[in-house]
Structure 1
Amino acid sequence: MAVIKYENDTKLNSNCKLNSQEEDKNTMDQLRKLSQFFSGMIDTIPAKVYYTKNEDILEDIEVNKRAIFEDSNLSKKAKNKRIKLDPNSQKKVSDIATAFCDKKKNDGKMKELKKKLAKRIKELRVARGANDKPKKLEITSTAEKDNKDVDNDKNLKTSKKVPKIFDKSGGLVFSKFDFASHVDLATEEKIEKSKQKKVSLKGLLVKVKKEDEKIEKLATTNIEAASKAKEKRMWKNALEKAEGNKVRDNTKLIEKSLKQKNKLKVKRAKAWDERKKNVEKRKEMKQERRQKNINERKQQTKNKKMKILKKKGRIA
């Protein structure tokens, strides 16, 4: 009897275990179905709407979209249209989320590897007994990096100085031209140039011709004075070129550029007149078409009224 009872108990226990396993399996299936249902519901929301507050994800979406049509020979307008409307470029919310998580993981791994590499290099340098200061390879946080960049910009701004061109006696110092600082100050020079009053080509041509005539007259009367005037003019042009300004002292080139400017003016005026004529022509055509349609509608209404009157017998 005891043996039969034991067997019954073991059977009950095994049945209970099987039932519990089946229940767990059912619950897991239900949970999986619910998860799929909710993820499907979320996927119906556009990614741009769902990730409005996450700027990093939005930026990644835009970059990935543009990368699809980067190599295509389409125009800029067509590319933008394709990016906006092409279904292949529109990814689901869940896919974007998984891709973003994977990217974060990879970034974390890369940072760890860089840190390990920096540490290893430091250890090797210490073991070798190097006296020179090692380059900083440790990866700092983004906030620290930004602060350092700001400080560096401030230091650069304070350290910028205009290079000296003249010495105490007033002569040119060619050895002290600092081309690097000249490049750095390019923006400031542009602002200064834009502030300067622009001289018209006609005025410039008159000015240069007057100077040439003056030198020619001096050459007939006083050769030394003419040579001094020429030298003065040469030095002036050299200084202008050294400062980065454009020198215009050739009458032939000025006349050529003036002719080109006048030709361009005539061409633009001609194009503008043609455009105006085309606009007027289109207006007239539209007006004629409108008037024709109005007359046709009027005639149709008249014909309808006449038919009704004929049916009623008011008109023979």
Structure 2
Amino acid sequence: MGLFEKRRARKFFIYVQDYDTSDPKSHEGLDLNEVTARQLISKYGLEDDTIDFIGHALALHLDDSYLDKPAKDFVERVKIYAESLARFQGGSPYIYPLYGLGELPQAFARLSAVYGGTYMLNKPECTVEFDENGKAIGVTSEGETAKCKKVVCDPSYLSDKVQKVGKVARAICIMSHPIPDTNDSHSAQVILPQKQLGRKSDMYLFCCSYAHNVAPKGKYIAFVTTEAETDQPEVELKPGIDLLGEVDEIFYDIYDRFEPCNDHEADGCFISTSYDATTHFETTVKDVVGMYSKITGKVLDLSVDLSAASAASEE
């Protein structure tokens, strides 16, 4: 980014930082419910590469359709990135659990037990049971049936109630060094915008390491993913893999993506969508929040004051 572009970008980021929905003075005469992201960006004369960076790496948009939509969501996404970056003071807006993502369901299992929940792990051949009206009434495995009124599952359990919407190309890479040009970071995320790759979708790189207790001492694990446009993951993922440097071993995979097509009110089945190519879990969280509302009939309120909650727990 050249000197003049840095100045233009700085002015844009100052606008985003100062923007307050409840304070019209901070809007600088712009109604972001009417002005598109493209129109807002054009005011600052940002270059295409800068727009790609802000839109895809900061705001985490999956494509460029956001440019022709009201700018308010775009600005709020960039603000969330900046606020997250400032909150943890670790040089990153992201947090990642030690021992890997498996710690999240494990923590849920413990919390579930506190409230009377029961966990049964590694149960084979689970079959959802339905009554004569097609309503889910239980799940059977090894001759035992757990009765229920609602079933929450991923697409693999109810293949006749989901539809294929795409496929993901993925490479899992074992390395003995961090990703080059990342200041020797033990963890990193790199987003390659689709336009710069000549693709229809972005490419994502994620790296974690022995520092997170997910690999042996001195080893790093990198994932390269994208929405598959062919049946050749080795070719499609090459731009991302080329950024990794020397790789000890690499594993390629392509898997289908599904989304539910059932009437959850009629059959009592709440099915998640498959994981997509993103590595930041933004789409996954949106799916979970949406499922919560469908299951409970309530809107999930995540507006809790974390600082106040932390202070209360220490008292």
Report the TM range for the smaller structure's normalisation. Answer: under 0.3
TM-score by length of 1: 0.18
Greater gyration radius: 1
TM-score by length of 2: 0.18
Higher helix share: 1
Higher relative contact order (CA 8 A, sep 6+): 2
